[in-house]
Structure 1
Amino acid sequence: MSGNDADPAALRRKRRSWSLDEKRRIVDESLEDGASIAEVARRHDLNANQLFTWRRQFGVELAAPQELAPILPVTITPDATAEYSAPGSIGQMEIVLAEGDRIIVWADVETAALSRVVKALRR
């Protein structure tokens, strides 16, 4: 009998059995801050889809990638006065919140920084 004549069933990968405690531990690991589903799955030699299935089975709500802010009315006005211009910046935007707070940003503003400011003002 040559190596090519091996039983096909013997060549199939053995199916791994996970205890409920092991599943819970891996799901908990996937819920830690900054955890990547793909990395946790790889670390445990597990398919990421299987980890998502376990998370659903344990009642873990799958969060949206990021919370969307409500849509607010916008008014476009002519250029603001030069007193707010930053040297070398091109284009600016003034955001006036319902409470009267104003935010003036330039084209090179970092999205994450602006989001933090808006969230802080909404509190």
Structure 2
Amino acid sequence: MDTIIQPITTKAKRGPYRQHSDEFKRAAVARTLVAGASVSLIARELKINTNQLFSWRKRFGAETPVDGNALGRLMAVTVVDTPLAPAPVASAPPGVIVLSVGQAQLRLEGQVDAATLTLLLARLLP
């Protein structure tokens, strides 16, 4: 009678999950946003999974500055339903104002009153 002896192997239990601080995550995301950076190489250097770094980019990428401009900055807008009134006769010829802040661009056509322009500039410019 032959006896086949095979060692019994059990999988080792997985260790505890690593916890990374938000500062570490933001720093890792900032490294990936540099032109020509490889997310895979950065993840390998930091000893984290590439998919984890991509999920951090979704979470923190919008608030990380690129070239000094903050991305994803939102501005409150209120839409008011007002009845249409006849347009006042403009004494000055209509013009076009184009305001560029970072990658955002605001184009105002026609006559713009000073109060509205002041409010827009106060909201858009830091």
TM-score range with shorter-chain normalisation? 0.3 to 0.5
Q: TM-score, normalised by structure 1?
A: 0.39
Question: Greater RCO between the two (CA within 8 Å, min separation 6)?
Answer: 2
Bigger Rg over Cα? 2
- Greater share of residues in helix: 1
